[in-house]
Amino acid sequence: MTGRTVTVVHLPGHTAGHSGILIEPEGFLFIADIDLTSFGPYYGDVGSSLVDFQASMRRCREIDARWYGTSHQKGVIEGAAEFRRRLDAFAGVVEKREATLLAFLGEPRTVEEIVEHRLVYRPHVELPQVGPVERRTAVQHLDRLMTEGRVAEALPRYVEPRRPHSTWRRRDAASAVRRWAVLRGM
């Protein structure tokens, strides 16, 4: 590979060690599991990170290459403009998942209720990994939304106020399970 430079580009998120490879001067960036499929970003494994995945997608966007190679179905994409268009659609799946979650949190929900509602897999998919992936994905979204002040953990036996500054309403004694709800008035 005389005259070529191969640079490993750390792109965590899918896994902690996920990386891409930039080959220059050809301008080929292999981005592996930032695969641009309609399934969207996969950050549901134990070592996955939603925050890191989003940062890695931003980093890929900044790298001007002639070709972008992906794993799985999409193969090689030619041109930065086409790549960025597809990357935007891929990244948009995260926002769709979050919108689905926020709509579902119109009333307090447990993580198990969110898992059953599904953010990642379609309802007909029945595989052993579905529950754990849905759970890890939901928790990462909840953590981020809580940090942003967009949702809050509802106190056991209570639900969120209907109006800002109103008092909490008591729930039945059987609901002493962790629940999350959208903050109103934000």
Question: CA-CA distance, 186 to 181, in Å (whole number)?
Answer: 13
Give the type of residue at 111: V
pLDDT at 154: 81
Residue whose tokens read 């597809």: 86
Q: What is the dihedral of CA 152, 46, 16, 63, to 10 degrees?
A: -60
C-alpha distances out from residue 180 to 100, 136, 140, Å: 14, 15, 13
CATH superfamily of 1-96: Ribonuclease Z/Hydroxyacylglutathione hydrolase-like (3.60.15.10)
The domains of the chain are located at: 1-96, 105-186
pLDDT of residue 157: 36
- Give the C-alpha distances (Å, rounded to integers) separating 64 from 54, 73, 106, 111, 120: 18, 22, 41, 40, 30
The pTM (predicted TM-score) of the whole model is 0.81
Report the candidate in 90, 91, 99, 95 with the shortest Cα–Cα distance to residue 117.
Answer: 99
Report which secondary-structure segment, H or E, holds 88. Answer: helix 80-104
Mean pLDDT (whole number) for 153-172: 45
Residues 6+ apart with CB under 8 A from 1: none
**With bands split at pLDDT 50, 70 and 90, how would you rate the model's confidence at 153?**
confident
d(CA 168, CA 158): 6
Burial 151-176 (b: 16+ CB within 10 A, else e): bbebeebbbbeeeeeeeeeebeeeee
pLDDT tens per residue across span 69-114: 999 888 899 999 999 999 999 999 999 999 999 999 988 999 999 9
Average pLDDT, the chain: 87
